[in-house]
Each structure stands twice: as structure tokens, then as C-alpha cells.
Amino acid sequence: MWYLSDEDVTSYMEAINNGDISDWAPSYMPNFIPVNVSSVDSLDKEIFPNGKDFVIMKDKEGKLFGRYILLLGASFTELFELHNFPFEVQDLSMDIHYHSYPMAY
């Protein structure tokens, strides 16, 4: 989820008013990168009923935000630590970083 910039809100509202929403896309979408992945089997975005890989919604205050869903099939890596062998409990961390540069379409 991310809030639309003022420019995107303006262009979105203009597209709705002009009936030209089918070609509209935000100028920015966040990019999430899985970091501690040893292999990626699949990385896709879910397609919403509007036929796009994102949807625009309003929060409780009426502010517009965008939403997309990443579908990731991957194998993650984690250091194996032996402190209480053979009664080990290991946590698996999934490190996912957020990059704030525009995505290429």
C-alpha cells in the first residue's frame, strides 16, 4: 500500500472525469525486493478485477492510496546456529527491502 502523490491524485481524477481511466497508471509504485533468497521460482503481481496489477482505493479520511499484491515463490536462506544441539529451534527470517524508486512498466 502506498499513498498517491498530489500529481497522481490530480491525473487520476482527470482520467476519471474524462472517462479515460483504462490507460491511467500511477507515476510511482513501490518496489519490494526479497534479500535473503537462494532461488526464486515465481514472482508475479496479482491481477485485480479492473484488469490491472494495482487498484486505487480511499482510506477512512478519503485519501487515495494504491495497492498491489506480490505473489512470491522462493527459497529463503538463514544461518544455521547450533547453541543447544540436538534441541535446536531455528527462526527463518524473510528479509524484504523496500526501494522508493519508480518501477518500470
24-38 pLDDT tens trace: 999 988 887 788 888
∠72-32-12 over CA atoms, to 5°?
A: 110
Q: What is the pLDDT of residues 9-63, one digit of tens each?
A: 999 999 999 998 888 999 988 887 788 888 989 888 899 998 999 999 999 999 9
Q: Is the dihedral of CA 19, 62, 11, 26 positive or negative?
A: negative
∠5-21-19 over CA atoms, to 5°?
A: 125
User: What global pTM score does this model have?
Assistant: 0.68
Quick count: other Cβ atoms within 10 Å of Cβ 23?
Answer: 6
